[in-house]
Amino acid sequence: MGLPKKLTEQQIKFANLLVSEEGRKTATQCAIDAGYSKDSARQHASILQNPKKYPLVVKYIGELREELQKKYDVTFGSHISELAKLRDEARVKKAWSAAVNAEVARGKAAGLYIEQKIIRTGKLEDLTTEELESRMKQIMEDYSPILEGIEVEELKNKVKEKHRGSVVKNNDPSDQNSLHLKNATDGEDIPVGE
């Protein structure tokens, strides 16, 4: 029998459906929609994707996927360019909010903004010294990449040395959420979590 030299219309239709409906339809449903009988659609869907049995079909499916990937590929340049177009169109229509949002999205994509979400539970005052020290170590490890110009080991050592005191609220009325470590030996305040 040998391998076919070209794809049949039914095989082409199956491949197109498989790629275009990926995630929405199963391979079996694509085979049925391509014209294969319901009784044998599952077997056809499986065998048509076997490179040993139908290498031309598998190759065609790969080419379609690659083409689709290129069409919808998001690169940094294309993303920034598209956001700039949207911003400019919004400006023309005097849709200032949309223009600002597009520009902010461009800045985020370029890495100009860092979103930070902190979920607070409990109070630091309720933690034991060991729990506080453990929490501080975890915070320093988690945020070490953004602590520019600060040697993490140096900061850890400083906190260990100064932590012999207790945690007290900052008395600055303009900054009620700021916590400081109070050194028991010399009374020096060390800001925490700023």
Q: pTM of the predicted model, to two decimals?
A: 0.43
Ramachandran sector of residue 193 (left: φ over 0; alpha: ψ -120 to 50; beta: rest): left
What kind and span of H or E run contains 162? helix 152-162
- Alpha-carbon distance of 14 to 27, in angstroms, equals 8
How big is the chain, counted in residues? 194
pLDDT confidence tier of residue 45, bands split at 50, 70 and 90: very high
Question: Binning pLDDT at 50, 70 and 90, where does residue 14 land?
Answer: very high
Sign, Cα dihedral of 179, 185, 188, 190? negative
The Cα 3–Cα 15 span in angstroms is 18
In one-letter notation, the amino acid at residue 98 is A
pLDDT of residue 191: 53
Extents of the domains making up the chain: 9-72, 76-109, 124-192
